[in-house]
Chains A and B, each alone.
Chain A
Amino acid sequence: MAAVSEKTRAEVPARRRLLGALRKVMVYGLLIGGGLIFAFPFYWLVTTSLKPVDMIMADPPQWFPNPIAFSNFAELMDTAPVLHWVRNTVIVTFLGTIFYTASSVLAAYGFARHPFPGSRVLFFVVLATMMMPGHITIIPRFILFRELGWLDTLLPLIVPTLFGSAFYIFLLRQFFLTIPRDLDEAAELDGANTLQILWDILLPLARPAVVTVALFAFIEQWSDFLEPFIYLSSPENLTLQVGLRWFSTQYGTQFHLMMAGSVLAMAPVVLLFFFAQKQFIQGITLTGLKG
């Protein structure tokens, strides 16, 4: 018995160390391998968009574009009303981000700070709409916008953002609740009205949450496909995301143009992410939501 325990005592540290090192190698191996797999599509997208047409299908594949050709981007502008699409997308994204953020802030403030009879039930409805499948509303909304004469305009993509979004309201309300009420009450005694309390006291403190909501709203509006796809029809009225698809049907599948277009469609989101990484991660963990 004694011999066995002496033997293990000597062996354990060595074994532990070996296992620890092996584990490190495994972890780094998987992270680097997985990382390469996840990063590769971005690399392939950008390099394809920079290859001359006759090189994109080269066999064996050309790993680095040689020569680097910006001709695909020029051709993209010539073959399709891309500048119109960019302009439309910018309008929808810019206004949508502002409207979504502002309207959600107002509703969240109402729920967080000024409860009224029935407001708890209403807030429960807000939560319920987050879980309710959105696909039911596709047809009725189409009919509604058709009746209003808004089809093939940007209005159906902008006007609904004036009324806030359940997810953003929820996120902001949760944040407002973490701010001590003493501050509002002090301001109220000083004669501030409810709007001044929101603007002067709460908004500066809720900045991280407001920025997160604005980022999400930006991405939602910029990336939206389903709604513009259903409401817009004329080539020059499309948004970038819908326009990309219109390509493949109109001209056969011209991958060099589609890759150039996809670079345009992805670039703002990727850039935004790099500038505001912290807010993104914070926002998601704040609520554990948003797919």
Chain B
Amino acid sequence: MRESMQGATPWRQSEAQRQWSVRWRRWRGVPYVAPWCIGFLAFTLGPYLFSLYLSFNEWQLLGPIDYVGTDNYKQLFDDPLFIKSLVNTTYYTAIHVPGLMILAFAAALLLNEEVRFRALFRTVFYLPSITPGVAAVILWVWMLHPTGIVNTFLGFLGVPEDARPGWFASTDWAMPGLILMSFWGIGSMMVIYLAGLQGVPQHLYEAASIDGANWWQRLRNVTIPMMTPTIFFTMIVGVIGSFQSFASALIATEGGPANATLFVLLYLYYQAFRYFHMGYASAIAWLLFGIIMAFTLLQFALARRWVHYEG
């Protein structure tokens, strides 16, 4: 093919053509990347800047945009509902993230054993994490109904009727209900751990066994240190996601009862789309952003003390 082309084009490039071709080579990646850049400007960077601008203004969606300086932010600290939503979100994160990590790690350890039907077990633990969230939440609302199947099981276990949790009907139990439900989704974290476990060099276990280390000592001194980069990664991603929890509370409880499950993002949604306080809601968004960033940076700073990188 090369020969036929050379035969068909017996011309020599002029200097201008050659220059143009060199320039084109240098920039020919641009058309491929450009659509993403346009999308980034239109749907991410632009919105980020506009949101920041709105957070210093008052706007009811209709009518003028009024500059209010830092009033929105000041007001947030005096807003009991916002404080409540922050406390709720922190409560949820403090149990949801470590719980999810421990359960996912345990499941990964079990699946890393040489067992029969490993693929089947992996499917069973993984599948819930990719089922559409709304359907999963509705299913759990049904199971956690005060007379639902979970309480029926508690009855089988001997829990008397008046001692069974009211779950989403109770201010004390609504949040534990959401957390319990969230543990059904350990799957994707579990698969990440599983990949990490398979990367731990086998010779380390052999060396530990020769030294007489038992199962717990091998886990404590080999597996966990080798897994710290993976654990760190899942923790960062888990906290960022957890602070942005929204759909499960909206569908299961709408933030109730008595605001017991009002998450920050749910409060943002209500402020923006129920009361049309666009500026105030944007300030909520940025304060949450600040909290997420602070947490992430803090975790990176602390990581030096416990995350172990090979080499």
| Main DSSP-derived SS at the A contact region | helix
Q: Does B42 contact A (CB under 8 A)?
A: yes
Report the stretch among B13-21, B74-82, B285-293 that lies at the interface: B285-293
| Main DSSP-derived SS at the B contact region | helix
Q: How far is the CA of A205 from the CA of B213 in the complex (A)?
A: 45
Q: Does A179 contact B (CB under 8 A)?
A: no
Contacting B at CB under 8 A, from A57-116, are 57, 59-61, 103, 106-107, 109-111, 113-116
Q: Does B54 contact A (CB under 8 A)?
A: yes
Q: How far is the CA of A123 from the CA of B269 in the complex (A)?
A: 32
Q: How far is the CA of A114 from the CA of B31 in the complex (A)?
A: 10
Give the residues in chain A near B120, CB-CB below 8 Å: 35
With A28-B115, A106-B32, A135-B268 in contact, is A141–B123 under 8 Å at CB? no
Give the residues in chain A near B126, CB-CB below 8 Å: 280-281
User: Size range of the interface on A?
Assistant: 35 or more
- CB closest residue in chain A, given B191: A284
Partner of B121, one of A35, A223, A241, A242: A35
- CB closest residue in chain B, given A163: B39
Report the stretch among B219-227, B240-248, B302-310 that lies at the interface: B240-248
Is B27 a contact partner of A116 (Cβ separation < 8 A)? yes
With A38-B124, A269-B131, A273-B127 in contact, is A61–B149 under 8 Å at CB? yes
Partner of B184, one of A38, A162, A226: A38
Q: Does A45 contact B (CB under 8 A)?
A: yes
Q: Mark A20-64, 1 if CB is under 8 A from B, else 0.
A: 000100011011001100110110110010000000010111000
Report the stretch among B44-52, B171-179, B200-208 that lies at the interface: B44-52
Q: Mark B163-195, 1 if CB is under 8 A from A, else 0.
A: 000000000000000000000100011011011
Q: List 12 A-B contacts (CB under 8 A).
A: A41-B143, A61-B149, A136-B48, A138-B268, A142-B272, A163-B35, A226-B246, A230-B269, A244-B134, A266-B132, A285-B192, A288-B233
Taking Cβ atoms with an 8 Å cutoff, the residues of A that contact B are 23, 27-28, 30-31, 34-35, 38-39, 41-42, 44-45, 48, 57, 59-61, 103, 106-107, 109-111, 113-117, 119, 122, 125-126, 129, 131-144, 160, 162-164, 169, 189-191, 194, 219, 222-223, 225-226, 229-230, 241-242, 244-245, 248, 255, 258-259, 261-263, 265-266, 269-270, 273-274, 277, 280-281, 284-285, 288-291
- Sorted nearest first, the 3 A-B pairs with minimum C-beta distance are A163-B39, A110-B32, A114-B29
Taking Cβ atoms with an 8 Å cutoff, the residues of B that contact A are 1-2, 5, 26-33, 35-40, 42-44, 46-48, 50-51, 54, 61, 106-107, 110-111, 113, 115, 119-128, 130-136, 138-140, 142-143, 145, 147, 149, 152, 184, 188-189, 191-192, 194-196, 215, 230, 233, 237-238, 240-241, 243-244, 246-247, 250-251, 265, 268-269, 272-273, 278, 281-282, 285-286, 288-289, 292, 296
